[in-house]
Structure 1
Amino acid sequence: MASIGQIVSPTSGNDALSRAQQRAALVPDCLVEAKRIANTVIAGWHGRRKRGIGENFWQFRPYTDGESLSRIDWRRSARDDHTYIRDHEWEAAHTIWLWADMSPSMMYKSTYGNASKESRALVIMLALAEILARSGERIGCPGIMEPISARNAAERLATALMHTPLTGGLPETAMIRGWSDIVLIGDFLDDADNVMARLGPLARRGLSGHVVEIADPAEETFPYSGRTQFTDPETGSQLVAGRAESVREDYQRAYLARRDSLGQSLRHLGWSFVTHRTDHLASEALVAVHTHLSGMPAKATHGGQL
């Protein structure tokens, strides 16, 4: 995605064929790493810990107009002046869409990171696919792979990614119908308002969203000084700073303000927002997203449905 103060990228990203070959070579290694990480995290769970069709009790919640009267728990409702619904735990197969940003800005890796943003995003996405597939969930990738329910979903997703033309920006989601979850992994360096203009309609359609922002540590700390040249990997435009350290505070302020604005807007929709730095373990982000998918994120306050 287009960047705000993007640090210079190690490759130009102008040669589409070379870029596609690089990604094709990267995916198999990411799949191996994803399986290793998935095996260190929870390898599946019985029940999604979300309300839905099932036999296990999940929670009582207030009745709302339009819901079936047969779902009211009259014994619980008799305790006070409110009417309550008895929810059960979701145990049926569920569709989860996974997407990772493959635009040129994701190729960046500083000496402070353990992997490129692209590599880390792929590992997290494929590890999620591995864990969710073991739980019997249906896994899809917008514009790349239709939802499937198979134990080898991660391998099939990796193969699809290797043979998919390069795309940038957020995915097309017209093919997503019905209630489902979507996990979006990228650096999200576009203006927060522009990102929300794309994501807001998805929430209003009833999708539960989970956004993972991948950041290189240098993008947060801006450890540069002296004369430094910065290149936008999306447009190729360049900026030369005579004393890079003189703009560090302004840069960090703008970078964090964009992140805070995006996070607040997403949480306002009832979506989860996780930040992850490439100098941290990939399993940290995996556990965080897994927790949200298991039904732990906060309730929507406006505009979205869970």
Structure 2
Amino acid sequence: MLAATVMLGEHGRRRAGLGDEFWQYRPAHQGDSARMIDWRRSARSDSHFVREREWQAAQSVTLWVDPARSMGFTGDKSRAPKADRAKLLALALAVLLLRGGERVGIAGMAQPRSGRAQMLRLAARLSGDAAVEEYGAPVTDGMVSHGRAVFLSDFLGDLTAVEAGLGRASDRGVRGALIQVLDPAEEEFPFDGRTIFESMGGTLRYETQKAGDLRTRYLAKLAERKDRLSSLARAVGWHFTTHHTGHPAQSALLWAYAALQGGR
């Protein structure tokens, strides 16, 4: 399994508190009681030091995996569709987080919970059929205030829906990451000559005799979309990246895990 190939330490849940394990020494502050002073450590310097113990606070992480028709695209039969890669990344990330003691859920489908049984629930929820919509809009139902979230999508639909979803999450104090999952064909636009472009749901169709003439404009529009997504994410303290289905999934998994740590 993908998560088993990634060797990671404990997720960054450590804070000073009333735990049992030693965490760090810090200089004593005004208001610290004498019983908090570590006199043995303080004897080695001219200052007083407090011995802090660790408090581990499990956080809630909500995943949204775009179920729209557009995610079913693949530019090559040897590559899995975008939806399969997004689900793989979501499940692998959930495994890592659950192993670290976090609570993980799926927006609008499964409330964040911890434990092995939750992994089975998440896998079952993600195994459903594609939605009827051509392009997805982020769902924020079930997000826990001041928790974390990850949105996985191609983000090729209306970006006002993405902006609205980020706004709702931000209003709850939720930080997280956007992972744009694209097929290499969508990134490179390797089309030329007579080509018929049709959406996965069949509602959009465009035919051209000179597809190659569209490449420059298409790539410029795609770059603009990525810049817009990056700006929307930064505006609310989120992270953004693009992952291609032709690349190994491990790199995106590591990025997502690190992004959640950085969002604390």
TM tier relative to shorter chain: 0.7 to 0.9
Q: Aligned with 2:111: secondary structure?
A: strand
Displacement of 1:171 after TM fit? Answer: 4.2
| Paired position in structure 1 for 2:112 | 147
What corresponds to 2:47 in structure 1?
none
The residue identity in structure 2 corresponding to 1:223 is P
| Alpha-carbon displacement from aligned partner over 1:147-171 (angstroms, at most 9, x marks no partner) | 2110243222112333578475234
User: Is residue 9 of structure 2 the alignment partner of residue 39 of structure 1?
Assistant: no
Instruction: Specify the alignment match of 2:203 in structure 1.
Output: 236
The one of 237, 242, 247 aligned to 2:214: 247
Aligned equivalents of 1:243 and 1:165: distance in 2?
32
Question: For the structure 1 residues 216 and 70, does the alpha-carbon distance in structure 2 shift closer, same or farther, using more than 3 Å as the test?
Answer: farther
Matched residue type, 2:240? F
Structure 2 partner of 1:7: none
2:247 — aligned with what?
A: 280
Give 1:234 deviation, angstroms. 4.2
Match of 1:290 in 2: 257
Q: How many residues align?
A: 238
Output the TM-score relative to the length of structure 1.
0.69
Alpha-carbon distance in 2 for matches of 1:261, 1:58: 44
1:208 aligns to 2:183 (yes or no): no
Give how far 1:211 is off: 0.8
What is the one-letter code of the residue matched to 2:99? R
The Cα offsets for residues 1-42 of structure 1, whole Å up to 9 and x where unpaired, read as xxxxxxxxxxxxxxxxxxxxxxxxxxxxxxxxxxx1101113
Letter matched to residue 192 of structure 1: L
* Aligned residue number for residue 262 of structure 1: 229
Following superposition, which runs of at least 4 residues in structure 1 exceed 6 angstroms of deviation? 87-90
CA–CA distance in structure 2, aligned partners of residues 281 and 125 of structure 1: 14
- The aligned amino acid for 2:205 is Q
State the AA in 2 paired with 1:161: L
Amino acid at match of 1:184: F
- 8 Å contact from structure 1 (residues 214, 277) kept in 2: yes
Equivalent position SS for 2:56:
coil
Tell me the CA shift for residue 173 of structure 1: 2.2
Q: Secondary structure of 1:177's partner?
A: coil
Q: 1:184 aligns with which of 138, 151, 155?
A: 151
Q: 1:128 aligned to 2:93?
A: yes
Give runs of aligned pairs for residues 69-148 of structure 1, distance below 5 A.
Answer: 91-111=56-76, 114-148=79-113
Q: Give % identity.
A: 36
TM-superposed deviation, 1:186: 0.7
Query: Per the alignment, in what secondary structure is the counterpart of residue 58 of structure 2?
Result: coil
Once the two structures are superposed, what CA deviation does each residue of 1:250-292 show, in whole Å capped at 9, x if it has no partner?
0000011011111122112110112100110011100000111
- 1:161 aligned partner: 126
Instruction: Give the Cα separation in 2 of the matches to 1:59 and 1:270.
Output: 29
Report the alpha carbon displacement of residue 202 of structure 1 after superposing the two structures with TM.
Answer: 1.3
**Greater strand fraction, Structure 1 or Structure 2:** 2
In structure 2, C-alpha distance between the alignment counterparts of 1:204 and 1:105, rounded to whole Å: 28
CA distance in 2, matches of 1:119, 1:204: 31
5+ residue gaps, structure 1:
1-35, 61-68, 72-86, 298-305
Distance in 1 of aligned mates of 2:174 and 2:26 = 22
Q: Which has the higher contact order (CA 8 A, sep 6+)?
A: 1
Structure 1 residue identity aligned to 2:190: P
Does structure 1 conserve the Cα–Cα contact (< 8 Å) formed by 2:177 and 2:259? yes
Q: Note if contact 1:108-1:117 (Cα within 8 Å) is conserved in structure 2.
A: yes
Contact 1:96 1:181 in 2 (8 A): yes
Shift of 1:103: 0.7
Matched, 1:173 2:140: yes
The structure having more radius of gyration, on CA atoms, is: 2
Q: State the superposition RMSD in angstroms.
A: 2.9
- Please tell me the residue identity of whatever aligns with 1:93: A
Q: Secondary structure of 1:294's partner?
A: helix
